[in-house]
Amino acid sequence: MEPNGILPVVLTIAGSDSGGGAGIQADLKTFQAFRCFGTSVITAITAQNTKGVTAVQGIDADVVAAQLEAVLDDFPVKAAKTGMLFSAPIIKAIKRVWQKHTERIPLVVDPVMVASTGARLLEPEAETALTDFLKLARLITPNLPETECLLGHTISGESGMKEAALELYDRFGSSVLVKGGHRLGLDGRVLDVLYDGTKFLTFTSERLPEKNTHGTGCTLSAAIAANLALGLGLQEAVAGARDYLVGAIKNAPGLGEGYGPLNHLWRDL
């Protein structure tokens, strides 16, 4: 909370998850957990639960732009994040509005392309628009499959993650957090690599059961944005967000038959 008692405002631009575990719903829960006021721009509606995505419908690009204009015209947004952007027209509409605000609002871009279940969350023709949009970000947070998709080659080991982060920075000019998830680890621990344009920082955490991991990418990027809104530097924002994510996984409520959601309010237990 700011000195005047006003909650820092954070914005999420993402899709809706009817199961409540990812997307807009996860982001708003995360903002609340960090004592920030969440605002939102919905890009698409999904029919999904812990078992998968069964339907997706994009919102009209003009309506997406109108949502974004409405929020930015009235709220003192301190930081923002994007998740599922879905289509090229939507990405281009967001970019047109956002370019008027890039200097004053740090933007975290989670380049959501494919759900963990394999469902496509970004239209193939939108990939070019997405790569162009990444240049507006303060930080991009791709997982390994997304990193490989962006770069067009496979990645293995810590050295490969560092090389990939450097390559993404050179290409887009944004700080990069390459997320190892459950695929890469050191001595049974999960590894993430941050490159801020001058140095590499590695983060490790214990490997947790993979059952309740729905919405982890959304939650991490939302937590980083919330920390930036609270005035933390990038390294501290990432470190704090990772710690929060570990707690949210450990305290997952065990809902659903598939990959269950996290407990975003675990700190209040």
pLDDT (tens digit per residue) in 237-268: 999 999 999 999 999 999 999 999 999 999 99
Beta strands in 173-247 (DSSP E): 175-179, 185-186, 189-195, 200-206
Contact yes or no for 35/41 (Cβ under 8 A): no
- So which residues are the catalytic ones? 179, 213, 215-218
DSSP states of 92-108: HHHHHHHTTTTTTS-EE
Nearest 5°: phi and psi at 49? -145, -160
What contacts 24+ positions apart, CB below 8 Å, involve 170-176?
A: 171/131, 172/131, 172/134, 172/135, 172/137, 172/140, 173/135, 174/109, 174/134, 174/135, 174/136, 174/137, 174/138, 174/139, 174/140, 175/137, 175/138, 175/139, 175/140, 175/234, 176/139, 176/140, 176/142
Task: Kindly report, residue by residue over 49-85, the tens digit of the pLDDT.
Answer: 999 989 999 999 999 999 999 999 999 999 999 999 9
**Percentage of the chain exceeding pLDDT 90:** 78
Q: What is the pLDDT of residue 120?
A: 63
The gap between the terminal CA atoms of the chain, to the nearest Å, is 20
Task: Kindly report, residue by residue over 167-187, the tens digit of the pLDDT.
Answer: 999 999 999 999 987 565 556
Q: At what angle do helices 144-151 and 157-172 cross, to 10 degrees?
A: 50
**Confidence (pTM):** 0.95
Task: Kindly report, residue by residue over 81-126, the tens digit of the pLDDT.
Answer: 999 999 999 999 999 999 988 778 999 999 988 665 556 667 778 8
C-alpha dihedral sign at 165, 138, 248, 53: negative
What is the set of domains in the chain, with CATH numbers?
9-268 (3.40.1190.20)
Q: What is the pLDDT of residue 72?
A: 96
More confident residue, 121 or 212: 212
Work out the angle at residue 127's Cα, subtended by the Cα atoms of residues 193 and 71, and round it to the nearest 5 degrees: 80
Neighbours of 42 (CB within 10 A): 17
Q: What is the pLDDT of residue 184?
A: 54
- In this structure, what DSSP letter does residue 8 have? P
What stretch of H or E contains 42?
Answer: strand 37-49
More confident residue, 257 or 4: 257
What token pair was written down for 98?
Answer: 């956002």
Q: What is the pLDDT of residue 125?
A: 82
Neighbours of 202 (CB within 10 A): 13
